[in-house]
Amino acid sequence: MLPTQIELIRASLPTLREQAIPITQAMYRRMFAANPEVARMFNPAHMHPDGQQGALAGAIVAYAEHLDELEVLHDALAVIVHKHVAVQVQPIQYDVVGGHLLAAIAEVLGDAATPELMDTWAAAYGELADVCIAAERGVYEQQRVAPGGWTGLREFEVVERRALTPMITSLRVSPVDRQRLPTFAPGQHVSVALPGADSLALRQYSITQAPGGDSWRFVIKAEPARDQHEPGVVSNRLTQALELGAKLNLTMPCGCFTLDPTAGDHAIVLLAGGVGVTPLFSMAAASVAAKPARPLLFVHAALDRSSRPLEADLRELANVAPGFRYVRIHEQPAATERLGVDYDHVGLLDHARLTSLLPADPVERAEIECWTCGPDGFMVSVDAALERLAVPRARRHFEFFGPARPLTES
C-alpha cells in the first residue's frame, strides 16, 4: 500500500475503533442474508459482540494499526489461517466477505466513508486476503502430501463410545477406508461434519490422545441451553444420539496450540479449566511418552467431579511417569466428594494457588513453559496470575474454544 493510503486508514482509526462492532454486526447480517452457504462456517452460539463479531472487530483494528508491519501480527495471522483451514475456507469466499465488509463500513460510517477511504480499505483488504490465501494454500498442500493425509472431508465411523460424565462422552473413530492416519501435533483438532446435516457448521474437537495409532479419540461435552442460546445441536447429537458404526466426516488436523514433546528439558505446566482438558491431555500423553522423567505439572480446575473427565487417564500418566504431578481443584465440590480422594483443593486456580504450585525461585519460574485452555474468564485470570509471577509472555500459550481474542479483554 502507498504511504498516503496507510496514513488515511490510520487517521480513521478513532472512528474505526468506536464503530468496529457495529461494522462486523452489519457485515454478518448482510453476508448471511445474501450468502447463506457461508453461514455453515460459523457457530451460531458465537455470533455475538463478545464472540465472533468482537474477534473480527479486534482483527480489523489490529490490521489497521499494523498495516506497514504485518510481522507483528504473524502469530495472530497463523491462528486465523488454521481456523480458516479448519472450516475449509476457499479463495473465492474472500471476495464474498470483502464485498460485505466494505458495504458494512460504508453503511455504518455514512458520510465519513468517502470514496478515497473506501478505495483504500478495498486495497488493504485485498492485500490481507492475498496473504491469507497464500498461507492457507500452503497448509492445504501440506495436508495433501502428508503420509495418510487428505484434502476436504474423509469418512470415519464410530468404533467406541463411552460416557465419562452425564454431560461428557468419549468417542473413538476410525477411517472407513481403513487406510493409515496422518500424524498430528499434540493439541491439534479436527473439524467434524455430520452426514446429512449440511446446514450445520463444522465443529472443532481436539484429538484427545498422543499421536499414533489407527483411530482417534475425542472427548465432547453436550452443550446445554444457556442465556439466549439453544442447546448445542452438533455436540448433543454426537454425545446423545450417535451409536457404534455411525458415520462422521472429518478434516485433517489443524491448529497452532501445540506442544513439541521432544523440545528441551524444561518443566512443562498444563492448566486446564473444565473440558479445556482435551487438548492438554494430548500434550501430556505425548510428553510422557517422549520424556517420562521430565517435570510436568497438570492442574485441572472444574466446578466439581462431573465437570472433570479423563480422571483415570491422567492418573495412569501419573503412575507411569516419575516427573508427572496431577492436581485437581474443585470450585464447588459435591456433597459426596471427599478432599484428598476426589479433589485436592477447593476454590479457583488463582494467583495464590498458582504461587503455591509453581517454583518459588523466580529463575526457575522464568524457565517453565505453560499451556492454558478453558473458559474465557478462567484463561484471563490464569494468564494475569502468570504475568504477576513473571512467567515470560513468550512461554505462555493459550487456546480459545471459539473465536480467538486477546486475554486482556473480557
CATH code: domain of residue 52: 1.10.490.10
Is position 259 within any domain? Answer: no
Assess whether 242 and 338 both reside in one domain: no
Give the Cα separation of 200 and 81 in Å (integer).
Answer: 21
**Closest Cα partner for 148 from 114, 170, 174, 121?**
174
Question: Could you tell me which of 159, 176, 351 has the C-alpha nearest to residue 271?
Answer: 351
- Split into its structural domains, the chain has a count of 3
AA identity, residue 284: A
Burial class for 59, CB neighbours closer than 10 Å (0-12, 13-18, 19+) = buried
For 164-292, list the strands marked E by DSSP: 168-175, 189-193, 203-206, 216-221, 247-250, 268-273
pTM of the model: 0.90
- Same domain for 141 and 8, yes or no, is yes
> What's the pLDDT score for residue 49?
78
* Residues 6+ away with beta carbon under 8 Å from 219: 164, 168, 169, 170, 171, 205, 206, 208, 275, 277, 278, 281, 309, 310
| pLDDT at residue 403, as a whole number | 60
> Can you tell me the distance from the alpha carbon of 227 to that of 164, in angstroms, rounded to the nearest whole number?
26
pLDDT at 409: 43
We report the CATH number of the domain holding residue 281 as 3.40.50.80
Whether residue 88 is found in the same domain as residue 9: yes
What is the spatial distance between Cα 51 and Cα 235, in angstroms, rounded to a whole number? 18
Is residue 162 located within the same domain as residue 185?
yes
Residues 167, 292, single domain; the answer is: no
Active-site residue set: 94, 136
Domain boundary among 250, 278, 296: 250
Same domain, 141 and 159: no
**In a domain? residue 409:** no
pLDDT at 214: 96
Distances (CA, A) of 327 to 271, 298, 301, 343: 10, 6, 8, 8
Domain shared by 202 and 326, yes or no: no
Residue 154 backbone dihedrals phi, psi, to 5 degrees: -125, 140
Question: Could you tell me if residue 340 is inside a domain?
Answer: yes
Mean pLDDT by 10 residues, the chain (410 residues): 88 92 94 87 76 86 88 88 93 95 95 94 94 96 97 95 92 97 97 75 92 96 71 81 90 96 96 96 98 97 93 95 97 95 96 96 96 93 96 92 54
Q: State which of 86, 121, 145 marks the end of a domain.
A: 145
Per-residue pLDDT at 396: 96
Tell me if 61 is assigned to some domain: yes
Give the integer Cα–Cα distance in Å for 42 and 171. 23
Domain contains 68: yes
| Full domain range(s) for residue 210 | 154-250
200 and 234 housed in the same domain: yes
Residues 289 and 309 in one domain: yes
Look at residues 120, 115, 83, 110 and name the one whose alpha carbon lies nearest to residue 26.
110
Is 285 in the same domain as 204? no
* 35 and 87 both lie in a single domain: yes
In a domain, 257, yes or no: no
Of the three residues 145, 177, 207, the one that is the final residue of a domain is 145
Is residue 261 one of the residues assigned to a domain?
A: no
The verdict on 137 and 29 lying in the same domain is yes
Whether 291 maps to a domain, the answer reads: yes
Residue in this structure with the C-alpha cell 472427548, named with its chain if needed: 219
CATH number of the domain to which 224 belongs = 2.40.30.10
